[in-house]
Amino acid sequence: MSALPLTLLPLLSCFASAEPVVESPEPQLKGDQVVQLITDHSLEGWKVPSTRWSIKDGAITGDTMGVKLQTPEWLYTNDSFTDFIFSAEVKLSGGPKANSGIYFRVTPFTFTRGKPGTKYEAPSGYEYDAGLGSRHNGSLGDWYARPKLRIFADQKVMKQIFKAEDWNRMTIRAKGKHIEYWLNGTKIIDYTDNDPKRSKAGPIGIQMHDNLVMKVALRKAVILPLVDDQK
C-alpha cells in the first residue's frame, strides 16, 4: 500500500513526550543477510509456551481455544536482536476485542498484577500494539515495565489503513534509541527513547492476550540485523 499524503501523516501523543512522524518509505528487506524466522512445518527457532500455538502452511497461530486465558502468553524467538529491521504479517480474529502485539528487545521478568497479586512472567521491552476496536492499535509502549510510556498512532489514519480480521503488514526499524513503525506501507510511529532504562536487546515475540477469546496468526516474519553502517 502506498504511503498516505503528507497531510494525513499521523501525529503522536504520549504521557511523557510527543514527536511528529518523519516521513520515510517502508524499508524493504532483501539480500543474503535477511533471516527467515518461520519455517514451513516447524516451530523450531521459537520458545513455545503451550500447546495453544501451532504452525500450518507457514503461518503460526495462537488460539485461546474458546476460553479466556487467566494470564497472557508470548511466543518468543530463541535468538536475541539489538538493532534491526523486522517485518511480518499479523491477523487477529476470534472475537471483537482480539488483542495482540509484536514485542521486541524483550527481557522477561516476574510481573505482579492486582491485589493480592497474580504473578506471571511478562516482557520488559517494546510493543507494537495490534488490537481490534482498540485505541492502542498501532501504538508503541512498554506497558509491563514502563507503563507511562505510550505513543499513540493517529487513529484516523489507522482506520484507513488497518484491515480488521485480515492480514496486516507490521514493520519495525529499531536503531539505537530510535524506533519507527510502519503499517501496510504507511509510517505511523517515529519515536526517540531517551530513557536510560530503555530496552536495548532481546528476542522478538507475539502475544496472545488474557481475558479474551481470540486467535492471532503470524506469517512472513523476517528480520535484517543492522550494523553500524546501515540505516
Summarised one tens digit per residue, pLDDT across range 177-225 is 999 999 999 999 999 999 999 999 999 999 999 999 999 999 999 999 9
pLDDT level of residue 133 (50, 70, 90 thresholds): confident
Specify the pLDDT at position 6.
39
Which amino acid makes up residue 230? Q
Higher pLDDT, 16 or 146: 146
Strand partners, 118: 113
Residue 79 in this model has a pLDDT that exceeds 90: yes
Q: Which helix (H) or strand (E) holds 8?
A: none
C-alpha cell at 201: 536487546
Residue 28 in this model has a pLDDT that exceeds 60: yes
Specify the pLDDT at position 11.
38
Alpha-carbon torsion angle 74, 77, 80, 82, nearest 10: -80
Strand partners, 120: 111
Specify the pLDDT at position 116.
78
pLDDT level of residue 115 (50, 70, 90 thresholds): confident
Report d(CA 53, CA 29) in Å as an integer: 26
Which residue in 134, 63, 74, 135 sits closest to 104, CA to CA? 74
Report the predicted TM-score, pTM, of the whole model to 2 decimal places: 0.90
Q: Which helix (H) or strand (E) holds 169?
A: strand 168-175
Average the pLDDT over 164-189 and give the result: 97
For 94, the 3-state DSSP assignment is coil
Asked whether the beta carbons of 131 and 98 are under 8 A apart, the reply is yes
Average pLDDT over the chain, rounded to an integer: 90
Higher pLDDT, 113 or 182: 182
pLDDT level of residue 22 (50, 70, 90 thresholds): confident
Report d(CA 95, CA 79) in Å as an integer: 31
Specify the pLDDT at position 230.
58
Specify the pLDDT at position 19.
62
Specify the pLDDT at position 17.
41
Secondary structure in 3-state letters for 119-158: EEEEEEEEEEEEECCCCCCCCEEECCCEEEEEEECCHHHH
Residue 2 in this model has a pLDDT that exceeds 70: no
DSSP 81: B
Residue 49 in this model has a pLDDT that exceeds 90: yes
Which residue in 164, 40, 189, 33 sits closest to 104, CA to CA? 189
Which residue in 65, 191, 212 sits closest to 130, CA to CA? 212
Specify the pLDDT at position 15.
46
